[in-house]
Chain A
Amino acid sequence: NAGVTQTPKFQVLKTGQSMTLQCAQDMNHEYMSWYRQDPGMGLRLIHYSVGAGITDQGEVPNGYNVSRSTTEDFPLRLLSAAPSQTSVYFCATTVREGLGEQYFGPGTRLTVT
């Protein structure tokens, strides 16, 4: 039982490049979300999903896309990377929306030059 896994752990991109951050969970949780964490700003919600086929925007969605074709996977796509997207990205899951007990992945540290 791996819980929540994220790949890659580290990534360096050039401005304008695109990439996908992977998130997978084996807990059969309905709710999955993506956060970014920047120094002094706390965790900010990017996108979330309440179940397969359903996604919605969080607080800072611009420049990111998501899809949820299966319960297990929730990839985050950066369409055209910008230096402002340099951050640590965390994926989180919970049994269903409304429960604050979220399980977080280990994070992806992204640098955009």
Chain B
Amino acid sequence: EDQVTQSPEALRLQEGESSSLNCSYTVSGLRGLFWYRQDPGKGPEFLFTLYSAGEEKEKERLKATLTKKESFLHITAPKPEDSATYLCAVQGPRYSSASKIIFGSGTRLSIRP
């Protein structure tokens, strides 16, 4: 069964303390892996798309990487405004049962000043 598992469920960091969030997936023929940020009471906001193992994308203090089984969202020297829930999603091959986008349950990140 196609699955997306994110860990940890929650992470509390001190401002400036770098860390990584994990997204492990099981889907054959990955078409894309996506990272979103969600603030409380709002809809998810798109961050990155990764298509193949070895690919990396960066945006400000965030860097997303992809292997054949998992993706990491690295947060370097985070600030309190980086506090949010980070969602990972995957999409399998077109016209397969996994063609629809499957979301993980998210990692709730809290950055203390």
Contacts and interface: CB of A to CB of B under 8 A. Distances in A.
Interface string A1-30: 000100000000000000000000000000
Contact of A59 (B45, B87, B100, B106): B100
A42 B104 contact: yes
Instruction: Pick the most buried of B32, B34, B101, B105: most chain A CB atoms within 10 A of its CB.
Output: B101
Contacts, number: 50
A104 B45 contact: yes
Q: Chain B interface residue count: which class?
A: 20 to 34
Nearest to B51: A100
Interface in A51-101: 58-59, 90, 92, 98, 100-101
Contact of B105 (A42, A48, A102, A104): A42
A58 B100 contact: yes
Instruction: Pick the most buried of A43, A44, A58, A103: most chain B CB atoms within 10 A of its CB.
Output: A43
Given A43-B87, A100-B101, A107 B34 contact: no
Contacts of B45: 104
Interface residues of A, number: 22
B8 interface: no
Nearest to A100: B34
Contacts of B31: 98
Given A42-B104, A42-B105, A42-B106, A101 B46 contact: yes
B44 A90 contact: yes
B87 A98 contact: no
Q: Shortest 7 CB-CB distances between A and B: which pairs?
A: A104-B43, A100-B34, A43-B103, A42-B105, A42-B103, A100-B32, A101-B46
Interface of A: 4, 35, 40-45, 48, 58-59, 90, 92, 98, 100-107
